[in-house]
Amino acid sequence: MIVGVPKEIYPGERRVALVPAVIPNLKKAGMDVVIEAGAGAAAGYPDADYAEKGARLVEKRDEVFATADIIVQFLVYGANDKTGQADLPLLRKEQAVVGFLRPLGSVETLREIAGSGVSAFSVELMPRTTRAQSMDALSSMATICGYKAVVLAGDTLPRMFPMLTTAAGTIAPARVLIIGAGVAGLQAIATARRLGAVASAYDMRPAAKEQVQSLGGRFVELPIEAKNAQDARGYGTVQDESFYAKQRELLGNTVADSDVVITAAVIPGKKSPVLVTKEMVQRMAPGSVIIDLAAERGGNCELTKPDETIVIHGVTIIGEYNLAGTVPYHASQMYARNITAFLLHLVKEGKLNLNLQDEIIRETLVTHDGELVNARVREFFSLPALQSAPAGGGA
């Protein structure tokens, strides 16, 4: 079984899907690795390191696709909506593709991928179970986003984060508010605390309170209750507009009193709820910073410009899409470990394991044999249920 790693072609993308350190584990399991020359250079992994660990380097991208049984990428066409279509003609029937696929994005794109005949696996759909924890690439990237959001905010804010007692007097600590205490939000709390800020967090899921407090954050409690606040996977669910209106009203003073606001309220496949209005931004002190981690899906701040940094009313609003990609060395390392764990689960005795009794395989497999086969994706796009599904066992 040959695993192929092409260079990422999304503009500005510096990460690489596999790092040299994981190659011996794959080879031990009977998999060979073919990598496009230069694929890891921008992340800090030179070709020589791959060769030393036993990977075979090839000069041409199409040779990677022609040789490999499984293609592993960060941004598969779907997640790469700018240049990913160039890979479509390189895919072939009975090949497998693993990576970020954006499975709840465009059904037309998914049908194009299905039409190529590949078995496409979406890492975004990995179950949040103990068994799949080592394969959870979404949480790995969210961890990096939460860390980098605080570092970016600290660099942008015209104040220091920690409290300091000096001969020139005492400097008060910065006040950081995190809205959305998922994986990214919790890492943001931990990082802000390490830098000496006073960290507060709000989440509509009651279960988040204990997690926030365990990191030394103050949990902001509002006198409103969400209905079915989280789904079976632990993600926040969509609420009606009256809930969001009340939430914005109650959060107004807390936002206005904060030096930094980091918003991380994302609902898979849905437009991000607006939690910070332009009126709330206007009440913030000049020099304050908002980092909107939900920018790609419209943003939690009403004024966010996707993938841009703007200044309005003296407040800097950063809507950068790919914060994890700005830490390419460790982002690649974490992703490679997740993908390696998945590949070791996916390949059994030199064959793809398409046993749909296995929750990990069933939940992540999006296309197979020309069809969109994922039940969750079909339901999301209101497609009828399939009459037949891929057979279990090797393929």
**340-374 per-position pLDDT tens digit:** 999 999 999 999 999 999 999 999 999 999 999 99
Percent of the chain past pLDDT 90, that is, above it, reads 85
Residues 268, 150 share a domain:
yes
Same domain assignment for residues 220 and 84 = no
Write the CATH number for 187: 3.40.50.720
Same domain, 197 and 271: yes
User: Pick the catalytic residue: 139, 194, 329, 369?
Assistant: 139
Same structural domain for residues 176 and 247? yes
| Residues 90 and 219 placed together within one structural domain of the fold | no
CA-CA distance, 237 to 252, in Å (whole number)? 22
Cα–Cα distance, 181 to 207 (Å, whole number): 10
In this structure, are 234 and 210 located in the same domain? yes
pTM of the model: 0.93
Instruction: Establish if 301 belongs to a structural domain.
Output: yes
Is residue 387 a part of any domain in this protein?
A: no
| pLDDT above 60 (res 324) | yes
Give exposure, 50-67, as e/b (b: 16+ Cβ within 10 Å). Answer: beebebebbeebeebbee
Q: Is 122 a catalytic residue?
A: no
For residues 30 and 174, membership in a common domain is answered with no
CA distance 159 to 174: 7
The number of folded domains in the chain is 2
Q: Which of the pair, 389 or 56, is modelled with greater confidence?
A: 56
Is residue 133 part of the annotated active site? The answer reads yes
Check whether residue 201 and residue 279 sit in a common domain: yes
| Residues 277-313: tens digit of each pLDDT | 999 999 999 999 999 999 998 999 999 999 999 999 9
Residue 362 lies in a domain: yes
Q: Which domain holds residue 251?
A: 145-321
Model pLDDT, residue 229: 65
Q: Do residues 153 and 291 make contact, with C-beta atoms less than 8 angstroms apart? A: yes
pLDDT tens, residue by residue, 93-108: 999 999 999 999 999 9
Range 332-342 average pLDDT: 98
The verdict on whether 139 is a catalytic residue reads yes
The span from the CA of 89 to the CA of 78, in Å, is 14
Catalytic residue, candidates 85, 106, 131, 133: 133
Give the end of a domain, one of 278, 299, 321: 321
Residue 56 annotated in active site: no
Is 30 contained in some domain? yes
Mean pLDDT, all residues of the chain: 94
Residues sharing a CB contact under 8 Å with residue 359, sequence separation 6 or more, in sequence order: 127, 129, 131, 132
Mean pLDDT throughout 22-30?
97
Nearest to 234 by CA among 275, 294, 181, 297: 181
C-alpha distance from residue 52 to each of 19, 108, 217, 304, 392 (Å): 12, 41, 45, 45, 37
Q: What is the pLDDT, as a whole number, of residue 41?
A: 98
133 found inside a domain: no
Q: Based on the residue annotation, tell me whether 202 is a catalytic residue of this protein.
A: no
Domain check: are 207 and 268 in the same one?
A: yes
CA-to-CA distance for 374 and 394, rounded, in angstroms? Answer: 18
Domain boundary among 272, 293, 321: 321
| Residue in the structure block whose two tokens are 């904060």 | 258
Residue 311 and residue 202 in one domain: yes
pLDDT band at 395 (very low <50, low <70, confident <90, very high): very low
Q: What percent of the chain has pLDDT over 70?
A: 95
| Cα–Cα distance measured from residue 25 to residue 366, given in angstroms and rounded to the nearest whole number | 26
pLDDT higher than 90, residue 140: yes
Catalytic residue among 111, 235, 244, 297: 235
Catalytic residue among 56, 92, 111, 128: 128
- Please check whether residues 272 and 244 belong to one and the same domain: yes
**303 and 347 inside one domain:** no
pLDDT tens for 226-267 read: 777 666 666 667 687 788 888 888 899 999 999 999 999 888
Question: CB-based contacts of 95: which residues, under 8 Å, 6+ apart?
Answer: 65, 68, 69, 70, 71, 117, 118, 119
- For residue 234, what pLDDT is reported? 61
Residue in 69, 87, 136, 259 annotated catalytic? 136
Last residue of a domain, one of 321, 349, 365: 321
